Amino acid sequence: MAVDAQTVEKLAELARIAISEETIDEVSSRLGDVLQLVDQLQAVNTDGVEPMAHPLEEVQVLRKDEVTEPNRREEFLALAPQTEAGLFLVPKVID
Amino acid sequence: MHQLTIAEIMRGLRDKQFSSVEITSHLLERIQQLDNQFNSFISVTGDQAIKQATAADARLAKGDAPALCGVPIAHKDIFCTSGVRTSCGSKMLDNFVPPYDATVVDNFQQAGAVSLGKTNMDEFAMGSSNESSFYGAVKNPWDIERIPGGSSGGSAAAVAALLVPGTTATDTGGSIRQPAAMTGTTGLKPTYGRVSRWGMIAFASSLDQGGPITRTAEDAALMLSVMAGPDKKDSTCLDRPAQDYTASLGDSIKGLKIGVPSEYFGEGLDSEVGAQVQAALKAYEQLGAELVEISLPHSKLAVPAYYVIAPAEASANLSRFDGVRYGYRCENPADLRDLYMRSRGEGFGEEVKRRILVGSYALSAGYYDAYYNKAQQVRRLIKQDFVDAFDKVDVIMGPTAPNPAFKLGEKNADPVAMYLEDIYTIATNLAGLPGMSIPCGFAHGLPVGLQIIGNYLDEARMLNVAHQFQLASDWHQQTAPAAQ
C-alpha cells in the first residue's frame, strides 16, 4: 500500500513531528511497507467478535477521591527546560 | 566471582565467603574493563552501588537481611530511578533525572539488592535488535559483530557478559525473551499485570510488562518473587498477592502435557534453530513429559495486529514528550507549534517516529474501525486460540526467535523484516500470557532459545518446567567467548 507525501505531511502534523523534505520519500516508502503488513487484518472475518482491551477482562479499579500524594512541585519544576515564578515557561503562542 | 548466579551469591553472602562490597566492586571493575566492547550500560552508578553494598553488609552482619540483600543487579533504563538519569534510550530523555523510583526499583531496594546502573535499550523499547538506542547499538557477547536482540538487549548482554547476574527488563512484543534467546540467557515475561508498571516509561500500555533476565530459571524465580505483586499506584496491576516462585522449583514434571504448535515450526524458521528446539522437546519427553500437537490458527495475524495496537498506544503515550514539561527542547522555537514539531522531530529517533506516524494513521478519522478496532478483534481471536489450547495442555513450547542473532545493520533498511524477528513472541503479549526463553543449544555457533508459554498466572509452573530442563542440561552454563 502506497502512502503519498501529502498523507505523510498530514500524519506528521497530527503527530506534531517535524519531518524534513529530504526524508519524506523514505518515510512514505517505509510507512507503506508497514501498512501493507497490517493490511493482512482486513482479510479476517471478525463479525460479532468483541474487541479486546484487557486480556484478563479486568475492570477499572477506582479509589476514593482523596489526596494521597504530597505536593512535589519544586522537584517537578526542576526537570523543566525553563520555569519562572513556579510555573512552566513555554514560548509565546499569541502574537 | 562473576560466574556466580544470584542464588550462589545469596548463599555466599550469608556464609560470609565474600561481602557485598567485594562482589559489587569486582563487577564494577569488570564493567569498566569490558563494557566498552558491548555497550550494555547507559549509566553506571558505582558510588551509589558501593554505598548500597556497604549498607547491605551491615544488615547481613546483624542478621537482618531481606531476600536479595547485597546482591548486585542492574535496571533497564526504562525504569525510573530517583536521582539517576532515566533516558529510555532516547535523546528525548537524555537529561531526565526522575525524582522518584519505579515500583519495581523500589521493590528491589526493599529486598536489599544493589543497583550497578542502567542498561542500554532500544529507544522507548521499540526494536528487536537494540540498534535504535541514542547511546549506540549493544553488541552480542557471543559475537560482537552481531546484535543482542531487543529491546532489552543491554540487560541481556550484561548478563551474558557476566557483568551482572540479573537485570530487570521489559517485554512489549518479545523484548525480554528474544534478547534472552540471542544471548543464551534466561528471560521471563510475566502475565500482564503481574508486575507493576508504575514508573516504567510506557510504550504500549496494554502490552508492556516488566520481568527479569538472568542466567538460570532459579534466579528468575528469585527476581520475580521480588518484582511481582499488587500496586495501588498502578490500576492495571493485578490484585493478586505476591508469591515465592522458588517454592515449587523441585516439583516433578512427569505427566506434564506440552503443547507444540504446528504454526511455530513452518516457513521462516531456521532449520538449525528448529532442530535444537526439537531436541529440547525430546529432552522433555525423556524427563516424563508428553508432547501434544496443537494449533494456534490465528498466530500468523499476531504481527499485523501488534503493529496496529502497539503504535496506536505509543502515539498516545509518547504525546507527553512535547518539549515543554521535561526532556529535550529544540533551540530557539518560533512559536508553540514549532516547539512541538521540532522538539519531537529532533528528539525522537527514526523507529520511534515511524511508529508514532503509524499509530496516528491507525487512530485517525476514517481508519479507526478498519485498523484499531479490527486489530483488537483479532487480538481476541488470538487469545481464544490460547484458551482452547490450555484446555488440553499445561504449557506450550516452541522456538523463541526464528533465527540466531543477525549481524549489526543487516535488517536496518527493512523494518518489516525486523518486526518478524518477534513472530513467535508477540502473540503472548496480545493475549497477556506469561512466557519464558531458556537456552537450549546453538545454531551456526550462536545461542538458541526455547520458548515456554504458560497459562495465566502460572509463572510458578513455567519456572519449574524451565528449572527441570536446566537441571538436566548445561546450555545455560555456557559462557560467551568475550565474557571469559
Give the whole-angstrom CA distance, residue B35 versus residue B325: 33
For residue B440, CA distances in Å to B46, B272, B311, B364, B437 come to 34, 12, 32, 44, 9
A5 touches chain B (CB under 8 A): no
Q: Can B225 be counted among the known catalytic residues?
A: no
Q: How far is A47 from chain B (nearest CA, A)?
A: 9
B415: three-class secondary structure by DSSP: helix
Contact between B344 and A78 using a beta-carbon 8 Å cutoff = no
> Is this prediction's ipTM beyond 0.85?
yes
Residue B314 amino acid letter: A
pLDDT of residue A89: 86
Q: Can B175 be counted among the known catalytic residues?
A: yes
**Of B230, B259, B228, B256, residue with least CA distance to B244:** B228
Give yes or no for a contact between B184 and B142, defined as CB atoms under 8 angstroms apart. yes
pLDDT of residue B238: 93
Instruction: State which H helix or E strand residue B437 sits in.
Output: strand B435-443
User: For A5-34, how does the pLDDT look when each residue is reduced to its tens digit (9 = 90+)?
Assistant: 899 999 999 999 999 888 888 889 888 988
Sign of dihedral through CA atoms B2, B3, B5, B11? negative
Per-residue pLDDT of chain B (484 residues; tens, 9 = 90+): 999 999 999 999 999 999 999 999 999 999 999 999 999 999 999 999 999 999 999 999 999 899 999 999 999 999 999 999 999 999 999 999 999 999 999 999 999 999 999 999 999 999 999 999 999 999 999 999 999 999 999 999 999 999 999 999 999 999 999 999 999 999 999 999 999 999 999 999 999 999 999 999 999 999 999 999 999 999 899 998 889 999 999 999 999 999 999 999 998 999 999 999 999 999 999 999 999 999 999 999 999 999 999 999 999 999 999 988 788 999 988 888 999 999 999 999 999 999 999 999 999 888 888 899 999 999 999 999 999 999 999 999 999 999 999 999 998 888 888 888 889 999 999 999 999 999 999 999 999 999 999 999 999 999 999 999 999 999 999 999 988 7
Give yes or no for a contact between B176 and B169, defined as CB atoms under 8 angstroms apart. yes
Restricting to A residues 65-94, those with a Cβ less than 8 Å away from any Cβ of B are 72, 75-76, 78-82, 88, 90-93
> Looking at chain B, which residue has its C-alpha nearest residue A12?
B357
What 8-state DSSP symbol labels residue B182? H
Average pLDDT for residues A54-83, to the nearest whole number?
Answer: 85
Q: Which residues of B touch A63 (CB under 8 A)?
A: 232
Which of A7, A90, A95 best probes binding to B when mutated, by most B CB atoms within 10 angstroms? A90
pLDDT of residue A80: 84
